């Protein structure tokens, strides 16, 4: 009798696929964009729009100059929370526009 393997979650299969194709960094970048709202909270998430994430730089469009100033003051805190959530230092810099 052959042994039946238990089914894997789709997310685990996709992670394995990214690794096999050498696209692990792209997967981490996508994960960073998905985690933004969770990490910063509802108020900041509503005041920001993710533009792109390339070369360790995360570009964020901000609703108005007052929010941009507030977020620049909190940049180190947000950066630390984001990298902690990723279990990796993927984001070196956040640029608020």
Can you give the pTM of this predicted structure?
Answer: 0.72
Q: How far apart (Å, rounded) are the C-alpha atoms in residues 2 and 46? A: 53
Are 95 and 52 in contact by the 8 Å Cβ rule? The answer is: no
Neighbouring C-beta atoms of residue 58, cutoff 10 Å: 24
Query: Looking at per-residue confidence, does 36 or 8 come out higher?
Result: 36
Q: What is the pLDDT of residues 10-63, one digit of tens each?
A: 767 776 777 777 777 777 777 777 888 889 989 999 999 988 888 889 999 999
Helix, strand, coil share of the chain (percent; to 5): 60, 20, 25
Mean pLDDT for 84-89 is: 86
Q: How far apart (Å, rounded) are the C-alpha atoms in residues 40 and 70? A: 13
């Amino acid at each position: 009798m052959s042994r039946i393997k238990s089914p894997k979650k789709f997310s685990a299969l996709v992670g394995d696929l990214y690794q096999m194709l050498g696209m692990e960094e792209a997967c981490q970048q996508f994960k960073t964009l998905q985690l933004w709202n969770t990490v910063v909270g509802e108020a900041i998430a509503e005041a920001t729009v993710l533009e792109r994430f390339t070369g360790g730089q995360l570009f964020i469009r901000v609703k108005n100059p007052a929010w941009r100033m507030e977020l620049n003051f909190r940049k180190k805190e947000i950066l630390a929370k984001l990298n902690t959530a990723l279990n990796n230092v993927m984001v070196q810099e956040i640029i608020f526009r």
